[in-house]
Amino acid sequence: MSSSAVILFAHGAREPEWAQPFESIRDRLRAVAMPIELAFLEFMPPSLDEAAARLAGKGIETVVIVPLFLAQGAHLKRELPAMVEKIRKRHAKTEFRVTPALGESPEIVAAITEWVLRAAR
């Protein structure tokens, strides 16, 4: 049993196809890494709470929540901390950590820049 896991946390949308890139990331990570869940803020299941409960129920010691957002808006500044605080109270035996938004990573910004430059050629 792995002692750590990841929840990829995305916004969610009404169109099911919207989730495909996130599902691809999840599936690629599952093939090479620890347990991975994909959770959504709204419109799509599972919720962050449901994904956290599933991992905590498996006895996972540490869960890293990775927000798949480009920037820190209201969802990440206000809603996510409140959600994580409730999850921590419900699952006290599991540590929940949250990474910064993807767009705060220099590697992600560089990859997007390179993609745009290729697309513009």
CATH code for position 72? 3.40.50.1400
Q: What is the DSSP string of 29-47?
A: HHHHSS-EEEEESSSSSSB
Residue 34: pLDDT band with limits 50, 70, 90: confident
pTM of the entire structure?
0.92
* pLDDT at residue number 33: 83
CB 116 within 8 A of CB 72: no
Strands 62-67, 4-10: pairing kind: parallel
Number of domains observed in the structure of the chain = 1
| Structural domain span for residue 12 | 4-120
Active-site residue (options: 11, 30, 54, 75): 11
> 91 catalytic, yes or no?
no
> Which of the two residues, 38 and 71, has the higher pLDDT score?
38
**Strand 95-98 to 4-10 pairing:** unpaired
Q: What is the DSSP letter of 78?
A: I
pLDDT band at 2 (very low <50, low <70, confident <90, very high): low
